[in-house]
Amino acid sequence: MRFEHAKTNDIIKWFTEITKIPRCSKHEEKIRAWLLDWAKQNKFETKTDKVGNVVIKVPASPGYEKAPITVLQGHMDMVCEKTPESKHDFTKDPLKLVFDGDWLKADGTTLGADNGIAIAMAMTAAIDKDIKHPPLELLFTVDEETGLTGANALEPGFIKGKLLINLDSEDEGVFTVGCAGGINTNSTIPFKLEAIPANYKQHKIAAGGMKGGHSGIDIAKQKANAIKVLARALSQIRQQVDLRIADLTGGRAHNAIPRDCETVVYFPKDNWEQVKKLIAEQEKIFKSEFKNTDPDLKLTIEATDSGNFQKVLTAQDTKKLIEVIFAMPHGVDAMSTDIPGLVETSNNLANVKLENGIAKILTSQRSSLVSRLHALSDRIEAVARLAGGDGKSGDGYPPWPPKMDSALLDKSKKLYEKMYNKKPVVEVIHAGLECGIIGDRNPGMDMISIGPDLKNPHSPDEKVNVVAVGKVWDFLVELLKELKDMKVMA
C-alpha cells in the first residue's frame, strides 16, 4: 500500500520488516542481530551492553557536527498477545498486517507498533540524506514491556547525548514530559488439596471476550478484568453449590488488563442445570455492568474431561482462593491532586495460575509518588501473608518527574505551534516510560516523548494511524534541524 506522505512509505516499509522478526519481551536476540547487521551495512558504529541494549551512532549532517548529540530512543521488544482462536506462533511467524483506512493493525495479534514504529522512524532518520540533524545515538533497549529491564541495566556513559527524544508515546500532538513509576509483586499462596468427591463431575468455566488493554493508559477506563469477573461468578455459584476448584488460569502480561480467565471445577452432577442457570444470570449482570467498555464479554460453562486431575481444593480452600482474588486490589487506587484527571496510583491484577495447589498471582502497581507505590505494594504483600502465603515485590523503576521549564520542551512547543497553528498538549501519563530511568542514570538529560496515534496497545486490537506517522515524522525532522545551536548541561 502506498501513502501520500512520501516518508510514511519508508517508515512503514521498515516497520513491515520489523513485524517479520520475532521479538517478544526477553527474546530480542533476532531483532538485535538484524539491527546490528543493518548498522554494519550503513557503516554506523554500534555498541551493545551486557543485557543486549544497542546504541547505533549516526554522524551529524554537514554543518551540524558541533550540535549536541541527540538520542532517538525506543525499545526492541513487544507485548505478544493474541485472540483465543489465533494460531499465531510468536516465536517464528511474521505478523499478518491489515490496513483499515488510515489505520494499520494485525490479524488476531498485537501489532507491535509499541514500539516497533519508533525503530522504523529512527532508522529512516539515520539514512535520510535530505534532513539536517545533530550527531545521533539510536538507543534501542530490551525488555521494556516486562519491567523496563533494559533501561534499568543501562550503565552511566553508555550514551553520550544529553538531549533525548523518546518515540514511545501514543498520541500525535501530545508531548509527554513525565510518567509513573512501577513495581511488580509476585504472590505465592499454598492451598489444601483432597481427592475428588464421589459423583462430582468436571466442568470448565471461562470468562472471555473482554477488551483488555494497557494497564497504565487504560486502567481508568473501568474495563472488565477477566480474573475478577470469573472470581465473582465462582463466588455466587459456591454460595449455592459445593464447588471445588482444580485449576485456574488467567491473564498474561503484567502490563495488560486480563481479557480471559478459565477454571476447571468439580461439583455434584445433579447440580448441572442449577449451575448453568447461575452462569447465565451472572453473564447477564456482567454484560449490563460492562456494556460500554466490554460489550462482547461472555461467561461460559461446559462439561469436560480434559486434564488428568486427581485432586481438587478443599471446600474451605476453594472459598479461600476466591476470596484472595476478591481481596487483591485492581484498578485506580488514587487520583492526582496536582494534575486534574491524572491517575496517581493503580494496580493491575495481571495474572493468576493454580498449579499443584499453589496459587501464583502477579500484580503490577504504578504511581507517580514513590511513597504510595510502595504502600500499595506493601498492601498486596499483606493480602498474600494473611492468606498464608508470601508476596515479593521487585525493585521496580522510578517515576519521571515533569520538568516544565525544560529547554527542549519549550523549543518543541514553539515549533509545533508554528508548524500546525495550534498548541500541543503537554502531559504526564500514568504509564511507564524509560525516560525516568534513563534520566536517573544520566543526570542533566533533557527529554521529551512523542509518537503517532496508537490505540489499544498490549491487546490484539492494537492499531497505529499511518497519517499520524507522517505528521510525527515532519515534526521530528524540523525539531532535529532546530537543535543545531541548542545548549545542554555539561
Catalytic residues: 77, 144
Residues with Cβ within 8 Å of residue 42, at least 6 apart in sequence: 126, 127
Pairing of strands 390-393, 446-449: unpaired
Q: Assign residue 389 a region: left if phi > 0, alpha if psi is -120 to 50, beta otherwise?
A: beta
Q: Report the alpha-carbon distance of residue 73 to residue 445 in Å, rounded.
A: 13
Q: Report the alpha-carbon distance of residue 56 to residue 38 in Å, rounded.
A: 10
The residue whose grid cell reads 495460575 is 353
Q: Which three cell numbers stand for residue 265?
A: 471445577
Beta strands in 316-393, from DSSP E residues, in sequence order:
331-335, 343-355, 358-367, 390-393
Residues with Cβ within 8 Å of residue 458, at least 6 apart in sequence: 79, 81, 110, 114, 145, 212, 213, 214, 215, 253, 255, 256
∠29-35-36 over CA atoms, to 5°? 90
In angstroms and rounded to an integer, the radius of gyration of the C-alpha atoms of the chain is: 24
The residue whose grid cell reads 541495566 is 153
Q: Which three cell numbers stand for residue 451?
A: 509518537
Residues with Cβ within 8 Å of residue 155, at least 6 apart in sequence: 49, 441
